[in-house]
Homo-oligomer: A and B are copies of this chain.
């Protein structure tokens, strides 16, 4: 049952684009359906995406979508593939460090453009070709520097996790003048009121200093740590 659902998703994401068949020609396409879902999610969040709304946006009935997509989970998987898009081409002559930096920034941009990607990519799921292509880029950038295969994968997980964490935080602070500022303000008030219980956090937040450096800060720490490992491995040779 679980396996069948996984197979459905695999077939949808990796299978052939279409097959010539009998009967009326499909009026819709996976691409159009996914695009409609993305449009709704971009505007109102992933929670607002329902079969009804997606179908309505395309001027079809809800049930017609089930001719193309086995269920909502698969629709979301298609939306993710559509939204992440192709990974950026690796910049030339910047070394692995520059490549990973550029990669992380591009990924952060994707999350900023489609905040619901955070919600849509939690939990076990099947990766699509484009998502896997992003992973390929980062693993490839680390090839030939003395890291084992698992280590390269771990490094990719590390980078992805960081970008995700930053993206999640950016939804709080958000681009200037966002509606969730009150939420941050409420939390700030709470921290100040309980400063005795959380002195370190209160002090850290009271400290001045330009914000929005979180992505850069963590990225530099990670890359410094990776560089140290690469250097150690190079010495060992």
What is A's interface to B at a CB cutoff of 8 Å?
Answer: 2-3, 6-7, 10, 14, 118-119, 122-127, 129, 132-133, 135-136, 139-140, 143, 148-155, 157-158, 160-162, 164-166, 168-169, 171-172, 179-180, 182-183, 186-187, 190-191, 194, 197-201, 203-211, 213-214, 217-218, 220-226, 228-229
Contact A183 B222 (CB under 8 A): no
Q: Which single member of B124, B153, B222 contacts A204 (CB below 8 Å)?
A: B153
Least CB distance from A168 to B in Å reads 7
The interface residues of chain B lying within 8 Å CB-to-CB of A229 are: 221, 224
Least CB distance from A150 to B in Å reads 4
Interface of A is mostly: helix
Contact A158 B149 (CB under 8 A): no
Contact B226 A221 (CB under 8 A): yes
**16 further A-B pairs in the complex, CB-CB below 8 A; given A151-B217, A157-B166, A157-B169:** A10-B186, A119-B123, A122-B168, A126-B183, A127-B187, A136-B201, A149-B204, A149-B208, A152-B200, A152-B204, A153-B201, A160-B165, A161-B162, A220-B225, A222-B222, A225-B228
How many angstroms from the CA of A95 to the CA of B157 in the assembled complex?
27
Q: Which single member of B133, B161, B191, B210 contacts A198 (CB below 8 Å)?
A: B133
Most buried by B among A119, A143, A198, A226: A198
The interface residues of chain B lying within 8 Å CB-to-CB of A127 are: 187
- On whether A6 and B182 interact (CB within 8 A), knowing A161-B218, A221-B222, the answer reads yes
A223's closest neighbor in chain B, by CB?
B225
How many angstroms from the CA of A197 to the CA of B131 in the assembled complex?
12
The interface residues of chain B lying within 8 Å CB-to-CB of A153 are: 201, 204-205, 214
